[in-house]
Each structure stands twice: as structure tokens, then as C-alpha cells.
């Protein structure tokens, strides 16, 4: 028996290459009114994580546009984006590839799978309320917020309208989910408040949702 190395005994590999593997990363670019965007290419349906770039800054996924294999992801606030997919176009310059009995790639050292650092259920949060968790190495944590929740209040006296939505903040060594006020303004006549709030596409504040956290420290 060798003191080190690889030993394979009676190995039967029947699974396929279904793991979500790292595809691309990059920082968002400004779009306008606090919204940012990130463009990328993926041959399969992507899963997107975001890492806040500043402490105590509200961030959130906004919406995703698909045009063939080209995607544009919009976010509230500036973030670093990490895209994962089932694409098999990444090939390591050296290392190991394992083929299953069907002749399809099962594993490659060019893959960068990650494990969740935490999955948290999010209860209903009232306007300006929040919940948070202590997260080790918070600067290396990215998140996937599974739903957006939004609430609206109309002030009949002053004819104002206020919007809240769930945002994600990194606060020191904690991650915070806050039902934060993102817009307050006049609701009279032809005022332009819609420019800042359209296309949010969110659920009500009482809808169940969750957040998944991953550690991206080892992703190149």
C-alpha cells in the first residue's frame, strides 16, 4: 500500500455531470438610479450569487434578461457576481478527468464546485425591520436571495408613496436581511417616481423566502 497518491478499487461511476460549477465572476457596472448590471454567457440555465462590495450597503437581485446564451443580470447596489451553471466548456490545462459508463464527463479538475455556508429561512419582516446572522469570513461570502419581497404605502394627506423591499447587507461579520425603504416621493400628477421603482417584480412582505450563502474564498 502506497503512503500517498490515489487508489481506486471496484469503482463504478454512474452519475452524470449535474453539479453546478463556477463559470465566471466579475463586478457590476452602473446602470442608473442605484441599479447595476452584469453581462455573461452561459450555455445552460445559470445560478447567480452576489457578494456585497461595501459594508452596510443595501444590495439585492433585481431581474435577469436572457437573449440566447447571453444574459444580463440587474442588481440593486454594487456587488461582485459569481455565476454557476452546468456548462462543460471549462477544461483544466492539467489534472484529472473522469468519464462515466456512458462516455460523458463526470468530474474534471477544471471544475470549481462549492458547498453552501448556510441556508436560512426568512420570516415576514415589517417595514424597516431586519434579521441577521453572524457569518465567519463574511468578506468571502456571497448570497442567493430566493425571492424579492416588496411593500408599498400611500400617504393620502401629502399624496406620497413609499416603497420597501428586502435588501442584503454585510455588516461587519454579520449578514443582514432588511425590509428597507428604497423610495419615497410624491404621487401627484405625472411625477416621475416610476423611474426608480419599475420592474421590481417582487412578492409581498409576508411571502416566505430564504437565502443561501456560499464561501467563494477558493474560487479563482
pTM of the shown model: 0.78
Q: Among the ranges 13-22, 104-113, 144-153, which has the highest mean pLDDT value?
A: 144-153
Phi/psi region, residue 137 (left: phi>0; alpha: psi -120 to 50; beta: rest), is left
Per-residue pLDDT at 108: 74
Q: State percent of the chain over pLDDT 70.
A: 79
From CA 50, how far away is CA 26, in angstroms rounded? 10
Residue 194, H or E segment:
helix 194-197
The secondary structure of 137-183 as a DSSP string is: TGGGEEEEES--EEEEEEETTTTEEEEEEEEEEEETTEEEEEEEEEE
Per-residue pLDDT at 95: 77
Q: Which residues contact 45 (CB under 8 A, 6 or more apart)?
A: 85, 86
Summarised one tens digit per residue, pLDDT across range 52-88 is 999 999 999 988 999 999 999 999 999 999 999 876 5
Closest by CA position to 169, among listed 77, 59, 80, 50: 59
From CA 209, how far away is CA 220, in angstroms rounded? 30
**pLDDT tier at 115 (50, 70, 90 boundaries)?**
confident
Per-residue pLDDT at 195: 42
What backbone phi and psi angles, to 5 degrees, belong to 198?
-70, 155
Cα atoms in the Cβ-side hemisphere of radius 13 Å centred on 190: 0
Summarised one tens digit per residue, pLDDT across range 3-12 is 777 776 656 6
From CA 99, how far away is CA 101, in angstroms rounded? 7
Summarised one tens digit per residue, pLDDT across range 123-180 is 888 889 999 999 888 999 999 998 878 888 877 777 888 888 899 999 999 999 999 9
**pLDDT tier at 19 (50, 70, 90 boundaries)?**
low
Amino acid at each position: 500500500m502506497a503512503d500517498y497518491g490515489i487508489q481506486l478499487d471496484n469503482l463504478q461511476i454512474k452519475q452524470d455531470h449535474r453539479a453546478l460549477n463556477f463559470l465566471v465572476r466579475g463586478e457590476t457596472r452602473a446602470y442608473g438610479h442605484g441599479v447595476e448590471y452584469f453581462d455573461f454567457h452561459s450555455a445552460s440555465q445559470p445560478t447567480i450569487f452576489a457578494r456585497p462590495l461595501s459594508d452596510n450597503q443595501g444590495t439585492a437581485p433585481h431581474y435577469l434578461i436572457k437573449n440566447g446564451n447571453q444574459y444580463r443580470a440587474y442588481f440593486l447596489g454594487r456587488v461582485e457576481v459569481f455565476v454557476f451553471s452546468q456548462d462543460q466548456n471549462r477544461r483544466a490545462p492539467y489534472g484529472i478527468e473522469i468519464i462515466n459508463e456512458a462516455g460523458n464527463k463526470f468530474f474534471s479538475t477544471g471544475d470549481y464546485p462549492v458547498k453552501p455556508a448556510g441556508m436560512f429561512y426568512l420570516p415576514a419582516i415589517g417595514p424597516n425591520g431586519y434579521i441577521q446572522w453572524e457569518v465567519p469570513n463574511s468578506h468571502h461570502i456571497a448570497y442567493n436571495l430566493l425571492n424579492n419581497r416588496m411593500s408599498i404605502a400611500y400617504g393620502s394627506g401629502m399624496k406620497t408613496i413609499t416603497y420597501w423591499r428586502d435588501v442584503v447587507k454585510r455588516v461587519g461579520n454579520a449578514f443582514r436581511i432588511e425590509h428597507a425603504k428604497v423610495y419615497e416621493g410624491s404621487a401627484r400628477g405625472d411625477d416621475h417616481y416610476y423611474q426608480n421603482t419599475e420592474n421590481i417584480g417582487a412578492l409581498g412582505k409576508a411571502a416566505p423566502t430564504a437565502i443561501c450563502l456560499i464561501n467563494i474564498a477558493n474560487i479563482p
